[in-house]
Structure 1
Amino acid sequence: MTPLGGRHALVTGGGSGIGLAVARRLAAEGARVTLMGRDEGRLRAAADGMDAGVAVADVTDAAAVDAALAGARAARGPVAILVNNAGAAETTPFARLDLAAWRRTTAVNLDGPFIVTRAALPDLLAAEAGRVVNVASTAALRGYTYAAAYCAAKHGLLGLTRALALELAGSRVTVNAVCPGFTDTDLVARSADAIAAKTGRTPDEARAELERFNPQGRLVRPDEVAAAVVFLCLPENASVTGQALAVAGGEVM
């Protein structure tokens, strides 16, 4: 039997990038996967061939999350594994950071995991081995220029991870964070395009600038992040909780 056989895994932001890589890896380990996100077409395309369910919801909308989770539960059973992966980033100097951009960033990266985890918690507590993995970032462990809102939100997500891990330590639920460095996803591609537009560099030069953060001289691969997530989801890793696992090629925090 595969290690996660029969367990229902819900992955937010599961339509592309890290979320899709995580979903595929969980499915390969036997989990019954549901992809949650806002774009139904993208989710269905991602689920094709993976025998995954689709739950359409904006993670910042508590009512939509509750309704989508109810549908996912009816289709695939109670949630035993939750991967909070949905995220978004905007870059701007702090002096030009307005309240609307701040709230957009914190809503997706911090409010979203709170809302989805709260909705799934009864299922997780009833599971034989409940698992919550928050996909944070190295921005949860250090600061980056022009990313004050994103760094604040991801630091907050790590704080939530650690607090909830302690609160649930007497249960069978573990709560951990995976902190990727710059990863080869659409999100980083958009960041490179923004850098190029603001600095006059070419997109390749901007991408190289991001790669230099990684001592290995490259972007992290989504499947490398997925492997770390799956490790934390395995039933035998019940003593690993409240941790922040960096997947960043040795980047100094």
Structure 2
Amino acid sequence: MTTANFTGRHVLITGAGSGIGAAIARDFAHAGANVTLAGRRHEPLAALAAELDQATGRKACFIASGFDVTNQAAITQGLLASKNAFGAVNILINNAGEAPSAPFEKTSLEMWSQVIAVDLTGVFQVTQAVLPDLKSSDGNARIINIASTAGLTGYAYVSAYCAAKHGVIGLTRALALELATKGITVNAVCPGFTDTPIIREAIAQIMQKTGRSEEEALAHFVQSNPQKRLIRPEEVAHTVLWLASPDAASINGQAIAVAGGEVLAG
């Protein structure tokens, strides 16, 4: 993990209440940053904020609950409140997302539209709202999009998710070129199957529906990883922290897989 000091930097993280988002928030808070925890549900955000404020011995977090990345008014309201708390945003982490599964023929237009709205259009809307802050930063601003290996390759039964995450990679690369002279780098981090509540819930559903053991259900998710394991959220968070550091100033427009070798080319 980078030893960079983020004291005084304002980091806004969408989908911050659990899993990868919470791990990213922990890393930035312990590195001195002021962290806006943005998400739809208040309870997990409040619990995380209390944990980090106590661990750091300061007011490390601002809670932006009701932050729905599909709702422009909610984004505007949450961003304004966070700026009142910590000033202009210097680092944006687009992490909010969802990944329902269904065969393509049973993927409804409603499901398709919802996944695209959250996983792709949400990135567009939040980034566009925060961009004036980033442009007025000190020449060391960051946009880091949490994509997925599903943005680099295909998976069966998650066609909407794959399409959305491929779109995030395309948006990342286009913005990286557009903002290269504005003191902003734009990169994507692409985790493989990660040990989060979403995956644990999926494992439980497989066990319930098929009668498989937990080990057998877990094997479904780790089979494509050459290391035969789930990625830890902290591994993703450490990658994000490095990308946000001054040491990564020349890393731009990249889609970095954190997947144990599952995807060998981006």
TM-score range, shorter chain: over 0.9
**Distance in 2 separating the partners of 1:201 and 1:145:** 20
Q: How far did residue 235 of structure 1 move? A: 2.1
Contact map agreement 1:2 1:30 (CA 8 A) in 2: no
1:72: which partner in 2? Answer: 82
User: Alpha carbons of 1:235 and 1:252: their partners in 2 closer, same or farther (altered >3 Å)?
Assistant: closer
Contact map agreement 1:172 1:238 (CA 8 A) in 2: no
Aligned with 2:176 (options 165, 178, 181): 165
Query: Structure 1 stretches of 5 or more lacking a match?
Result: none
1:99: which partner in 2? Answer: 109
1:147: which partner in 2? Answer: 158
Question: Which residue identity lines up with residue 36 of structure 1 in the other structure?
Answer: A
1:226: which partner in 2? Answer: 237
Alpha-carbon RMSD: 1.4
Q: How far did residue 192 of structure 1 move? A: 2.4
Contact map agreement 2:152 2:263 (CA 8 A) in 1: no
Q: How far did residue 198 of structure 1 move? A: 4.9
The DSSP-based 3-state class of the residue aligned with 1:220 is: coil
**Distance in 2 separating the partners of 1:190 and 1:107:** 23
The DSSP-based 3-state class of the residue aligned with 2:189 is: strand
Aligned with 2:223 (options 205, 212, 229): 212
TM-score, with structure 2 as normaliser? 0.91
Question: Which residue identity lines up with residue 86 of structure 1 in the other structure?
Answer: A
TM-score, with structure 1 as normaliser? 0.96
Aligned with 1:87 (options 93, 97, 111): 97
Question: Which residue identity lines up with residue 116 of structure 2 in the other structure?
Answer: T
Q: How far did residue 197 of structure 1 move? A: 4.8
**Distance in 2 separating the partners of 1:157 and 1:196:** 32
The DSSP-based 3-state class of the residue aligned with 1:146 is: coil
**Distance in 2 separating the partners of 1:194 and 1:35:** 29
**Distance in 2 separating the partners of 1:158 and 1:190:** 27
Q: How far did residue 104 of structure 1 move? A: 1.2
Structure 1 residue ranges, 4+ long, deviating more than 6 angstroms after superposition: none
The DSSP-based 3-state class of the residue aligned with 2:17 is: coil
Q: How far did residue 19 of structure 1 move? A: 0.3
**Distance in 1 separating the partners of 2:153 and 2:233:** 21
**1:70-114 deviation per Cα after TM superposition (whole angstroms, max 9, x unaligned):** 000000110000000111011111011110010111111111111
Aligned with 2:29 (options 27, 30, 42): 27
User: Alpha carbons of 1:105 and 1:196: their partners in 2 closer, same or farther (altered >3 Å)?
Assistant: farther
Question: Which residue identity lines up with residue 28 of structure 2 in the other structure?
Answer: L
**Distance in 2 separating the partners of 1:103 and 1:191:** 22
The DSSP-based 3-state class of the residue aligned with 2:51 is: coil
Contact map agreement 2:4 2:246 (CA 8 A) in 1: no
2:13: which partner in 1? Answer: 11
1:127: which partner in 2? Answer: 137
Q: How far did residue 203 of structure 1 move? A: 4.0
Contact map agreement 2:22 2:48 (CA 8 A) in 1: yes
Question: Which residue identity lines up with residue 39 of structure 1 in the other structure?
Answer: R
Identity among equivalent pairs (%): 52
Of stretches 124-133 and 192-201 in structure 1, the one that deviates more from structure 2 is 192-201
The DSSP-based 3-state class of the residue aligned with 1:63 is: helix
Question: Which residue identity lines up with residue 176 of structure 1 in the other structure?
Answer: N
**Distance in 2 separating the partners of 1:204 and 1:106:** 32
The DSSP-based 3-state class of the residue aligned with 1:48 is: helix
